[in-house]
């Protein structure tokens, strides 16, 4: 450990002519391998369907689907935090009390954004095979909550879209041209709608951007284009899970979203350009339902998502165990790529942050 001593200029006080000096210690710790390298998973036992936000306090906060982490430990939307995206610690559950506008179902696949000087959480409430799931909104002053429920934004019956879960909030434009959108859907088509000024109500006509193959929507605006990341396949069948992520690109947020070959993912059977998948022999299966893409202080983009460890695929009680994963994105000819198209399982270069 290096210590730098800085001797401040001598201060002469006219009234007493007393010389006064001060020392300030500055600690310059050289980076360690723990700071510069990481290895998947970055958090376990579980943080399924993650959402990540960089908060005003300088910490990253990640939020996951409601689940039983172990016998007797139930997390109703767990919140974890990190300074560097590699070392995470549990903070709290997002909700003190369960939302009351829908009495059955778990709280799944939340999406958290810092907007209007508060933390807005869009969340799904659903059971498996639910005939009328829906999406609600909760708001907190602080990233670690508690989040206060604002009620239902819409459900499948009111919006006219089956399996209305997996929200993705995005704002685009500026000034008078700024618009807020919510995208959603799960294997019944991916849809979008504008939101009201208070971000609590769908306004205008809904529009469809992807066919029934997808769920877990995330849209990234980058260099004047919109990149759609969507998950396909089975998310929650242990080592038999076939989840994977594909990408498509559009010049307008409403679409059309095209794969690298120019095919629209709104057309029947089109599955976008493969981005990341799993393999039993590789040791990780079911990568998908990614969080927001995070950029470090050197301009590197990192993809956070969940996946399933073939050697440890289940939580206590039998639910599929989906720890938090992270891998670096490289951009080639305007398209994002993950090395080998598979979750990394060896030491990787960590994101770099000045503080």
Q: Is the pLDDT of residue 31 over 60?
A: no
Q: Is the pLDDT of residue 16 over 50?
A: no
Please tell me the pTM assigned to this model. Answer: 0.90
Q: What is the pLDDT of residue 24?
A: 39
Q: Is the pLDDT of residue 19 over 50?
A: no
Q: How far apart are CA 10 and CA 2, in angstroms?
A: 25
Give the pLDDT confidence of 250-286 residue by residue, as tens digits.
Answer: 999 999 999 999 999 999 999 999 999 999 999 999 9
Q: Is the pLDDT of residue 13 over 80?
A: no
Percent of the chain with pLDDT over 90: 88
Q: How far apart are CA 208 and CA 233, in angstroms?
A: 20
Q: What is the mean pLDDT of residues 328-343?
A: 98
Q: What is the pLDDT of residue 273?
A: 98
- DSSP H or E segment with residue 315: none
Q: How far apart are CA 8 and CA 19, in angstroms?
A: 12
Distance set, CA 210 to CA 54, 122, 144 (Å): 29, 20, 33
102 preceded by a cis bond (ω within 30 of 0): no
Q: What is the mean pLDDT of residues 122-149?
A: 97
Q: Is the pLDDT of residue 29 over 60?
A: no
- DSSP H or E segment with residue 83: none
Backbone CA torsion sign across 221, 156, 48, 244: negative
Cα 51–Cα 52–Cα 54 angle in degrees, nearest 5 = 155
Strand order in the sheet with 273-276: 215-222, 225-232, 244-250, 273-276
- Tell me the CA end-to-end span of the chain in Å, nearest whole number: 18
Q: Is the pLDDT of residue 100 over 90?
A: yes
Q: How far apart are CA 181 and CA 199, in angstroms?
A: 9
Give the pLDDT confidence of 104-128 residue by residue, as tens digits.
Answer: 999 999 999 999 999 999 999 999 9
DSSP string, 86-155: SS-EEEEES-SS--SSS-SSEEEEEEEEEETTEEEEEEEEE-TT-SS-EEEEEEESSTT-PPEEEEEEEE
Model confidence at 87, in pLDDT bands (50, 70, 90)? very high
Domains and CATH numbers, the chain: 36-349 (2.115.10.20)
**Which of 219, 201, 200, 199 lies closest to 209 in space, CA to CA?**
219
Give the pLDDT confidence of 162-205 residue by residue, as tens digits.
Answer: 999 999 999 999 999 999 999 999 999 999 999 999 999 999 99
Q: Which residue has the higher pLDDT, 21 or 196?
A: 196
Q: Is the pLDDT of residue 337 over 70?
A: yes
User: Out of 96-100, 300-304, 329-333, which region has the weakest mean confidence (pLDDT)?
Assistant: 96-100
Q: What is the pLDDT of residue 355?
A: 73
Which residues face 110 on adjacent strands?
none
45 preceded by a cis bond (ω within 30 of 0): yes
What are the φ/ψ torsions at residue 132 (nearest 5 degrees)? -145, 65
Give the pLDDT confidence of 33-70 residue by residue, as tens digits.
Answer: 567 999 999 999 999 999 999 999 999 999 999 999 99
Q: What is the mean pLDDT of residues 93-111?
A: 96
Which residues face 29 on adjacent strands?
none
Up-side HSE of residue 27: CA atoms within 13 Å toward CB? 3
Percent of the chain with pLDDT over 70: 90
Q: What is the pLDDT of residue 317?
A: 87
Q: What is the pLDDT of residue 10?
A: 35
């Amino acid at each position: 450990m290096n210590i730098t001593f800085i001797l401040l200029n001598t201060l002469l006080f006219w009234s007493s002519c007393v010389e006064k000096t001060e020392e300030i210690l500055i600690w310059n710790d050289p980076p360690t391998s723990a700071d510069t390298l990481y290895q998947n998973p970055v958090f376990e036992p579980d943080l399924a369907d993650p959402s990540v936000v960089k908060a005003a306090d300088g910490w990253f906060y990640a939020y996951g689907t409601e689940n039983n982490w172990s016998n007797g430990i139930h997390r109703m939307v767990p919140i974890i935090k990190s300074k560097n995206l590699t070392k995470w610690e549990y903070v709290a559950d997002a909700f003190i009390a369960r939302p009351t506008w829908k009495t059955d179902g778990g709280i799944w696949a939340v999406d958290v954004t810092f907007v209007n000087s508060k933390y807005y959480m869009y969340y799904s409430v659903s059971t498996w095979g639910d005939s009328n799931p829906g999406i609600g909104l909760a708001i907190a002053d602080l990233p670690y909550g508690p989040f206060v429920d604002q009620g239902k934004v819409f459900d499948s019956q009111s919006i006219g879209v089956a399996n209305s879960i997996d929200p993705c909030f995005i704002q685009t434009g500026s000034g008078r041209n700024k618009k807020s959108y919510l995208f959603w859907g799960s294997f019944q088509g991916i849809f979008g709608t504008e939101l009201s000024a208070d971000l609590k109500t769908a306004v205008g006509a809904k529009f469809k951007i992807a066919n029934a193959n997808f769920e877990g929507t995330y849209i990234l605006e980058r260099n004047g284009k919109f990149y759609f990341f969507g998950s396909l396949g089975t998310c929650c069948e242990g080592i038999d899970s076939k989840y994977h992520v594909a990408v498509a690109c559009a010049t307008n947020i409403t679409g059309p979203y095209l794969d690298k070959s120019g095919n629209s993912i709104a057309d029947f059977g089109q599955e976008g350009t493969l981005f990341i998948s799993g393999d039993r022999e590789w040791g990780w299966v079911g990568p998908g339902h990614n969080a927001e893409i995070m950029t470090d202080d050197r301009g590197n983009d990192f993809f956070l998502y969940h996946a399933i460890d073939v050697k440890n695929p289940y939580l206590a009680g039998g639910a599929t165990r989906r720890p938090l994963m992270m891998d670096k994105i490289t951009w080639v000819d305007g398209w994002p790529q993950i090395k080998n198209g598979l979750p990394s399982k060896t030491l990787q270069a960590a994101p770099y942050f000045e503080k």
